[in-house]
Structure 1
């Protein structure tokens, strides 16, 4: 799954609102059950499943009860095709259900379901629905749990083991699911650093003081689908591939397997969950029963499975709930052709990014002369990369973004050793080494240093006043967690808004030297192509305004550098000819 990551914190998720009926009773609106478009839906889900399977695949779970070298016998489904079934759905606060005689616990009972029937039901697709609004138990309002216990029995049998003659182990399938979901709500304490005031809700401030920066809250979603997988594969015990082996349960005596009961909430968006609190009196619950084909179940199981190769903590490597929602919304609402184009463009973008890193390292590794290159811009680039890294660490951004920015910072630091002489002098206090930086002779003796100093001198006349104005604005009108966060957000916001000004020294050097052959054109070409791709997505993808400005800023710098190439091009040299050919490709 290709996800565009942002280095901003995820958007806030607000609970669903209320509206009042004519009788004055508060009624909660139910989110419509997502109905993904059928044209292209299977294709897009198949792509996701194929990619996920490649990274999640692993060795099959061995069966400890099977002796080594013993023949493995194929098994069969304990429920043959077209078996008549009865469905019992119970609600309980206990994870293990035993109170079968409690009629109030029976939420839904449906008689004579046909296993593998795709033509009956309310809509002729084999699906049935049951909806009700139930009173909220007190234990659920106090962050307790509510479990859904589903039993499928062959017609005429009962799920209660105490009923002799009516209960049969091989004729009963059981599955349990916790209905409420515990989610973390983070309190971000921000305030105006000068006045100490904040626009945050006073109630939220009190909860933050009581529960700390993170509060665990029980949330509710009114929709859940119970799927019975229509599968009669001759599975061999111990050879079921992951992640399917977690769902296929074998009977220890007969060796056959039970039908797979799958709770499907894949299309339940995180934004539709709302917290269970003291103000609620009832909870809506809509259950659906539907048959599910084997290949579609494999898609869902692969998406919900955790890769065996993941070794990082859950909060570190996993996408945020909002990122997962963006993928689901794309599958639900995006045109299949546009979705396919987005995937292709994302792959091309990743390839160009890798090639840009590769050619950038090759260029500086083989560079002997610094004539025509702005050393000050490279030093300023290190400062800019450091600010971005500290900013995303302070805002707890996705781990993948942190790694990408950190690698970019390491490359920028490595460039310093290529454009300057770095030496280690006497240690400070005999412990810490003292680094001494000195311009290389090829840079000092060339006219490039004169032009570079001149460009940054003129640049400072514009840069410093803008920096001061933005710092005052950020301090007066923006709330921050503290002075450290203010410094980082102020520097990052300034660089993102006015950072394109730092591109001008290299343009000034090109103008003075009347040449562009000294530039790393392969790397710049790949970055230019990626810049235009970013500009395209800046218009069609929802993102923070500051990030959109940053994308358009880079595009502006590329457009400004284009005329200088055609102005100072000299095709008689090899370097200029390569510049012209790569620019034509761009």
Structure 2
């Protein structure tokens, strides 16, 4: 084959080589050399060889140039040597990313109550020298695994404490495990955390990272904790008060979190104890205040990714996890303006859940807020940690299953209709857009967990920090019935993600109320869930004016019911005889229902107890042996507590007469309603049928029980207030046979 057949011109393709004029001229020759190499490797024993010596020389020259270009590309791909300042700057960014990632994993778990929980941070650092500076080494690491003492690691990274309600989470493991893979530049830091992460004075709380070669400043002794204990006790008391008075939950929460009086903080002790000594470095303390790190009017992009990554490593996931999350949605909302309250977006998806999520795995929503044009991907050239804010939201919380009450017709096989609303798969992402100045030092835990400070950045005094824009996932309006159980029967579900701006005051209210409701549900168990959901439902579905009227009427109802109970008990305690009173025993049973309000249960239960006490007040109930020959060995005997007088016997007679009249109407009505309920209504069983039928009948025809008392009162009053023939009417007249007697009366005998 001729030389021109072997070294053929190939089609130009995109290359990473230089775009200079000389490189463009050499590119066709290099492409031809690459084609020649492929031809030789394809058929090593019978590849075409040029016939002329000049052609062979040109071939060797082309192959040599191709080899040199490959060497240059390899050399160019190596990381450039950085100066000490550049290494330290890159190490600071890597530490900030690691500190943020570790803090996000340090969330409250049940094991933290008495023990610890695990954390593991996975990162990527392509330059070994930067990773060496990250660990405070003099050069690239020479190890694959290493253990670093906890205090040393915290001094390197910065403050790793996370504030939770009434406590603080800290790193508890004595050593932090470090793994380094020089091949792909990946590393992993792991350890454990809990409530008691060693002595606070031995761990630097300075957010400003420091290398191992820098001198360490001893932390000041901790201030007296008496005030904190008193404040914690006050919060617990307020929490109990909120549980007892659900109708004032919103007011109590608002008072607790928004009108909290500012208290003067005790001065921080110095090392020597001398009040005239120099104050402690403010960098060792949390900032007292914080202002937005980004300016109002800044253009933003919001990147939303749904993933199964437990650590939020959306862009550094292994291949198997990328394959698992390939069907999960990811999108970007662009051209957002920080501080603009007139923008709103919606995104609707049909999510195909991975098998791991259907098998009790977790699904997360990772939200990246970047400045306009920035990228949340650390491998992208447009990435900047100061211009990127990352928050996470768990979309698949673990909840107890609701009890399903199956009902059916007792005389048929048809089941009743399923009750409940269709679930609302709605997720609201709110961006706090008013740029408020936050008193960071006195924030409640329910609010501070959403406020992320910019590490290593404060004002010249060191007391004012800078916080990233607050992204709040508002789930206050989510009811228990809105959550859908995930299993093999629900592989695909619709979801709507909504973006809307929110003021800082509104964010405080929703964050505080959400946290307060969750705490109440945890402390009271499952019974509180229905109460809280009903309260939310009233706020959602009811007109505010009507809601206020309902609250007032409910309070008055409770007040008057208690007064009626008091009056009833006082009357019966002092009553010695039963003239004119009809004893009616009312059996009112309530079928157990977890959705029944405690206010209704309390009133009904108190009424039943009073009725039982009134029966015991009127009669004696005893059990005596049955006569010989009876099937049952004992029998129930009910006797009046005292011998009836003539008036009481008349009352009893009229009582029986009145009930006979009422039964002529009530019994047919009860029979008709029983038949209707048996044929057309659904019930869980015969017991439920009997209870619900009697209760419904009492609700509809309860007025009938008042008729006997009216008849008795009418009969007795006819005798008590009979006509007096000697009485002078309004015209001064009396009956004729009594005129003489009236005329003979004097003032003395009158």
TM over 0.5: yes
Partner of 1:481: 684
Query: C-alpha separation between the residues in 2 aligned to 1:244 and 1:444?
Result: 72
Match of 1:514, SS state, is helix
Partner of 2:313: 98
Query: C-alpha separation between the residues in 2 aligned to 1:364 and 1:352?
Result: 18
Partner of 1:574: none
Partner of 1:362: 570
Partner of 2:640: 439
Q: RMSD between aligned alpha carbons?
A: 5.0
Partner of 1:79: 293
Query: C-alpha separation between the residues in 1 aligned to 2:639 and 2:456?
Result: 79
Partner of 1:225: 429
Query: C-alpha separation between the residues in 2 aligned to 1:241 and 1:266?
Result: 18
Partner of 1:457: 660
Q: Is the 8 A contact 1:369 1:442 kept in 2?
A: no
Q: Which moved more, 1:69-78 or 1:309-318?
A: 69-78
Are residues 324 and 395 of structure 1, via their aligned partners in 2, closer, same or farther at CA, if it must alter by over 3 Å?
closer
How far is the alpha carbon of 1:47 from its aligned partner? 8.5
Map 1:255-404 to 2 at 5 A: 256=465, 257-266=467-476, 285-307=495-517, 308=519, 313-319=524-530, 323-324=534-535, 326-331=537-542, 334=543, 336-375=544-583, 377=584, 380-381=585-586, 383=587, 385=588, 387=589, 389=590, 391=591, 393=592, 397-404=596-603
Partner of 1:133: 349
How far is the alpha carbon of 1:469 from its aligned partner? 3.9
How far is the alpha carbon of 1:409 from its aligned partner? 1.4
How far is the alpha carbon of 1:170 from its aligned partner? 8.8
Are residues 483 and 49 of structure 1, via their aligned partners in 2, closer, same or farther at CA, if it must alter by over 3 Å?
closer
Query: C-alpha separation between the residues in 2 aligned to 1:85 and 1:134?
Result: 26
Aligned residues: 430
Query: C-alpha separation between the residues in 2 aligned to 1:73 and 1:133?
Result: 41
Match of 1:76, SS state, is strand
Partner of 2:216: none
Match of 1:318, SS state, is helix
Map 1:164-179 to 2 at 5 A: 166-168=383-385, 172-178=389-395
Match of 1:319, SS state, is helix
Q: Is the 8 A contact 1:84 1:114 kept in 2?
A: yes
Query: C-alpha separation between the residues in 2 aligned to 1:53 and 1:425?
Result: 62
Map 1:36-75 to 2 at 5 A: 49-53=250-254, 74-75=288-289
2:358 is the alignment partner of 1:152: no
Question: Any idea what the Cα deviations from partners look like across 1:398-453, whole Å, max 9, x if unmatched?
Answer: 44433332222122222223333467989xxxxxx998643233865523333223
Match of 2:313, SS state, is coil
Q: Is the 8 A contact 1:90 1:106 kept in 2?
A: yes
Are residues 443 and 329 of structure 1, via their aligned partners in 2, closer, same or farther at CA, if it must alter by over 3 Å?
farther
Map 1:529-548 to 2 at 5 A: none
How far is the alpha carbon of 1:300 from its aligned partner? 1.8
Match of 1:441, SS state, is coil
How far is the alpha carbon of 1:96 from its aligned partner? 3.0
Query: C-alpha separation between the residues in 2 aligned to 1:92 and 1:107?
Result: 9
How far is the alpha carbon of 1:194 from its aligned partner? 4.3
Alignment TM-score, normalising by the size of structure 1: 0.59
Of 506, 514, 517, 2:709 maps to: 506
Gaps of 5+ in 1: 1-45, 61-65, 119-124, 205-213, 427-432, 518-586
Query: C-alpha separation between the residues in 1 aligned to 2:611 and 2:454?
Result: 60
Partner of 2:122: none
Query: C-alpha separation between the residues in 1 aligned to 2:685 and 2:248?
Result: 45
Question: Any idea what the Cα deviations from partners look like across 1:442-465, whole Å, max 9, x if unmatched?
Answer: 865523333223322333344344
How far is the alpha carbon of 1:507 from its aligned partner? 1.0
How far is the alpha carbon of 1:178 from its aligned partner? 0.9
How far is the alpha carbon of 1:94 from its aligned partner? 3.2
Match of 2:655, SS state, is helix
Are residues 464 and 410 of structure 1, via their aligned partners in 2, closer, same or farther at CA, if it must alter by over 3 Å?
same
Are residues 56 and 418 of structure 1, via their aligned partners in 2, closer, same or farther at CA, if it must alter by over 3 Å?
farther
Partner of 1:235: 439
Of 674, 677, 684, 1:471 maps to: 674
Query: C-alpha separation between the residues in 2 aligned to 1:483 and 1:281?
Result: 38
Question: Any idea what the Cα deviations from partners look like across 1:128-172, whole Å, max 9, x if unmatched?
Answer: 414243452453677765421112245676444567994437953
Are residues 48 and 472 of structure 1, via their aligned partners in 2, closer, same or farther at CA, if it must alter by over 3 Å?
same
Query: C-alpha separation between the residues in 1 aligned to 2:383 and 2:679?
Result: 74
Q: Is the 8 A contact 1:222 1:284 kept in 2?
A: no
How far is the alpha carbon of 1:100 from its aligned partner? 1.9
Are residues 462 and 443 of structure 1, via their aligned partners in 2, closer, same or farther at CA, if it must alter by over 3 Å?
farther
